[in-house]
């Protein structure tokens, strides 16, 4: 696929805001006498990485992704940047390990970007089985390579029990009809295994009461989200990733995280809060050094995309952006 075609397929969410925030960290690391490195921990098709490389002619970008197809497309798109871009096939909870392994002695991590959830590439490729709008094999693995240890959704549904499936749908999909849907899936499985997205979507649709289908989009939306999160262990990986990303950046460095549903945003919000607020017990007359915050928030709550961006890129509608900066001696740098 040509570089232009890849770029046309992928419109990076809140691109300009992400680059402005990451550039703060780049400037701080450069001012400290080091070569700045930005880790795009969710490389996808390389849209944010491309924007960062264009914004600064000296920055090095490391692109992490567990999806081999994403690496192939991003590598083609970013080939013009030569050795300023390096793609690494791994899960993003290894962000701090990658930094330790890949950085030279004169380099420091100036920023980490996390654009969470399913990518445009995965949604648009019908054969990947992420979307209920296409009939495709029931897969949904972010790494669907032959040596991937992850099980597909079809494999999950072939073995899961009703109670566990109910928990998955309720916890990961916030599905109010989790019990009804789970029982319908297990009942149908007894006569025929699930192999396609259309088959699963039809069973879910039948299980959801008619009165509840009038609003809220396709009745299978939450079920597909929940199963995707489960097979990719997305929330467990994210809980590990945020502290690792915060540890990886140098003083003055910035971590930017964009989430697309409340489960992701809650994890990001809580992890940032633990680093940006004092941990001193209430009533302590003097705040000890170990209780002082080590990061400052660069956003007031979660920032949202504006109407113009949503009009250009409808998938940005649910995005929430949060950013935090590791404190330096100056304690804070304005966004």
Nearest to 248 by CA among 120, 68, 143, 92: 92
Residue-level length of the chain: 335
Residue 135 CB partners (closer than 8 Å, separation 6+)? 126, 196, 197, 198
CB of 258 closer than 8 Å to CB of 327: no
Report the b/e string of 264-290 with b at 16+ CB within 10 A.
bbebbbebbeebbeeeeeeeeeeeeee
At residue 90, φ and ψ (nearest 5 deg) are: -165, 165
The reply, when asked if residue 150 is annotated as ligand binding, is no
Report the b/e string of 141-175 with b at 16+ CB within 10 A.
bbbbeeeeebebbbbbbeebeeeebbbbbbebbeb
- Strand-by-strand arrangement of the 85-89 sheet: 85-89, 60-65, 35-40, 107-115, 254-259, 320-326, 295-297
| Tokens read off for 304 | 């949202």
At residue 309, φ and ψ (nearest 5 deg) are: -70, -40
Query: How far apart, in whole angstroms, are the C-alpha atoms of residue 182 and residue 188?
Result: 10
The reply, when asked if residue 115 is annotated as ligand binding, is yes
The reply, when asked if residue 291 is annotated as ligand binding, is no
| Tokens read off for 317 | 């509608």
Which of helix, strand or coil describes residue 188? Answer: helix
Nearest to 37 by CA among 49, 275, 18: 49
The reply, when asked if residue 192 is annotated as ligand binding, is no
The reply, when asked if residue 33 is annotated as ligand binding, is no
Query: How far apart, in whole angstroms, are the C-alpha atoms of residue 150 and residue 156?
Result: 10
CA dihedral 150, 218, 119, 151 (to 10 degrees): 0
Annotated binding residues for S-adenosyl-L-methionine, written as ranges, equal 46-48, 65, 92, 115, 122
Annotated binding residues, written as ranges, equal 46-48, 65, 92, 115, 122
């Amino acid at each position: 696929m040509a570089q232009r075609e890849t770029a046309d397929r992928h419109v990076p969410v809140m691109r300009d805001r992400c680059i402005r925030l990451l550039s703060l960290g780049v400037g701080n690391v450069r001012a400290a006498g080091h070569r700045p490195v930005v880790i795009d921990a969710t490389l996808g098709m390389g849209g944010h990485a491309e924007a960062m490389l264009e914004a600064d002619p000296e920055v090095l970008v490391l692109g992490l992704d567990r999806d081999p197809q994403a690496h192939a497309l991003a590598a083609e798109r970013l080939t013009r940047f030569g050795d300023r871009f390096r793609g690494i096939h791994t899960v993003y909870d290894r962000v701090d390990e990658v930094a330790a392994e890949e950085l030279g002695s004169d380099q420091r991590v100036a920023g980490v970007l996390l654009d969470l959830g399913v990518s445009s590439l995965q949604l648009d490729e019908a054969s990947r089985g992420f979307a209920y709008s296409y009939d495709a094999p029931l897969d949904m693995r972010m790494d669907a390579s032959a040596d991937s240890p992850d099980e597909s959704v079809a494999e999950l549904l072939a073995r899961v029990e009703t109670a566990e499936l109910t928990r998955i749908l309720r916890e990961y999909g916030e599905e109010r009809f989790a019990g009804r849907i789970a029982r319908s899936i297990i009942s149908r499985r007894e006569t025929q295994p699930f192999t396609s997205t259309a088959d699963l979507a039809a069973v879910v649709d039948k299980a959801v009461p008619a009165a509840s289908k009038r609003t809220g989009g396709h009745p299978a939306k939450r079920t597909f989200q929940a199963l995707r999160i489960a097979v990719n262990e997305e929330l467990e990986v994210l809980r590990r990733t945020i502290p690792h990303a915060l540890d990886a950046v140098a003083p003055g460095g910035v971590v930017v995280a964009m989430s697309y549903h409340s489960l992701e945003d809650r994890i990001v919000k809580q992890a940032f809060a633990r680093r940006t607020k004092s941990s001193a017990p209430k009533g302590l007359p003097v705040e000890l050094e170990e209780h002082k915050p080590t990061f400052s928030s660069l956003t007031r709550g979660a920032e949202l995309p504006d109407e113009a961006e949503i009009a250009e890129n409808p998938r940005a509608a649910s995005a929430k952006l949060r950013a935090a900066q590791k404190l330096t001696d100056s304690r804070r740098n304005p966004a």
